[in-house]
Chains A and B, each alone.
Chain A
Amino acid sequence: LRIDILHRYVVWQLAKRRAGTAKTKNRGEVRGGGRKPWPQKGSGRARQGSIRAPHFRGGGTVHGPRPRSYDFTFPRKVRSMAIRVALSVKFAQGDLYIVDSFGLETHKTQNLKDLLDQRNWYSALLVDGNTYVDENLRLAARNIQKCDVLPSYALNVHMMLKRHALVLSLPALKILQERLVKDIAEPAWDKYDFKMTSLESIPESNDQLQLEESEEFKES
């Protein structure tokens, strides 16, 4: 499994979010230093042109940091592969869980916390829906430490590796299946034996979903 690609993805993720606002003044920007401090010959001292040259105390910085962007284009297919590798890693190490749906009854944090403790998900990344997350879930999980909630389009390797458990809801799983398989070259499709769902059948939010909720959720 390409753990090195996970590394590259995380490096890219963290680099592109950098503010890049560090700046130093060079010898042209430091105030002063336009006049020649002493004549070229006769003073007995070394010849100098400006008081703010880099070798002077208080002088300008050579090649110091400038405000810049640390973003770079990370190939889309490699990004997709990294997410696939991360999912496989979670699966292989027993950290991948799939849940029918995240349709919670209340927005109370305590309820969700009890649920998570019950399953020993003390460090979890919950992935729901496509662009929106169930409102109750979002509110309930907001204040729980080490618990993050994401819509499936925002799934990224940094958060997947940071949190121990990865919990996907069924609609999120189906959306990911469609999205991640698109980048694998066509001839390889016949090697894999999965059933594809059509995009129309995937609901946008959990309201439209009519799945059986597991008993434990009903209890909460």
Chain B
Amino acid sequence: MAAVLGHIEKNLSLLANLPRVALNNIRDIPGARKAAVRVGRGPGSGRGKTCGHGHKGQGQRNPSKPRLGFEGGQTPFYLRTPEHGFKNKFRKEYELVDLGKLQLMIDQGRINPKSPIDMKVLRDSGAVSKKITHGVKLLAKNSDKFNSKLDIEVSRATPLAISMIEQAGGKVTCAHYNKLGLRYLLKPERFIDRLPPRRARPKPKQMTYYTDPHTRGYLADEDEIRKLRKMNQRRNKPKDYIAPKETAV
């Protein structure tokens, strides 16, 4: 916390040596306001005379050009192409956090590795955006400098991320939160005068993921998970680690 708030002291001490902040030296940050384009104000502006409309033609006349996509009467591209596919309204979009970002947060003092890390911690520290739709997924990206022992609970985790955390001596759990459960986790202050909601179990399609010890699901058999974790901790390459397929370059 001190590392995060140290900038306040620094800013105040810097201000002490600068001239007094008064009405004559306050201004907006450069680039905060964009100047409007004023056409027809002389040749120097680059938009005098014809005001960017060229000479004659439909483009210069009122009310100028036809609608976007119109091709002069030829069947336009957007009508010629067929419709394709559908949008899955039950699609789950997880916020991504990778091991590199986690390590950075720990080094900056924004996440405490000694206490359990759940999605609320990730959101509050800024590792993940404030708007979490379905949960958080842990990836193993930028993990060359990762070496912290963590106890972390996320919605999903890639096998490589799981193995890297367990090799460092930590623990990963993948837990399911539905919309209400996530809201209760992330914003407990909205539930002050209400009964705490009960934890919903995953839908059948997601049950296979959360009852599988290989993905460290929270409903999986504890013993199996313990066995797999021990394997990870013992060897450099864990037994259930599947190397990513090498693609031809």
Contacts and interface: CB of A to CB of B under 8 A. Distances in A.
Contacts of A158: 23
Interface of B: 1, 5, 11-13, 15-16, 18, 20-23, 26-29, 32, 124, 189
A1 B28 contact: no
B111 to A, nearest CB: 15
Given A4-B29, A7-B27, A162 B22 contact: yes
Contact of A93 (B1, B16, B32, B189): B16
Nearest to B9: A92
A63 interface: no
Given A7-B28, A191-B1, A92 B23 contact: no
B5 A4 contact: no
Given A3-B21, A4-B32, A191-B1, A92 B26 contact: no
A200 interface: no
Contacts of A191: 1, 5
Query: Among B12, B15, B32, which residue has the most Cβ atoms of chain A within 10 A?
Result: B15
B23 A8 contact: no
B23 A4 contact: no
Is chain A's binding surface mostly helix, strand, loop or mixed? helix
A129 B28 CA distance: 32
B10 to A, nearest CB: 11
Nearest to B11: A1
6 contacts: A4-B26, A88-B12, A92-B11, A93-B15, A161-B22, A161-B23
Given A92-B16, A93-B16, A191-B1, A3 B23 contact: no
B27 A92 contact: no
Contacts of B5: 191
A212 interface: no
A154 B174 CA distance: 53
Interface in A48-104: 88-89, 91-95
Contact of A94 (B16, B22, B23, B32): B16
A165 to B, nearest CB: 11
Interface in A147-175: 158, 161-162, 164
A89 B8 CA distance: 12
A42 interface: no
A187 B23 CA distance: 34
Contacts of A1: 11-12, 15
Nearest to A164: B20
B43 to A, nearest CB: 20
Nearest to B18: A93
Contacts of B15: 1, 89, 92-93
Contact of B23 (A89, A95, A162, A186): A162
A137 interface: no
Contacts of A4: 26-29, 32
A124 interface: no
Contacts of A7: 26-28
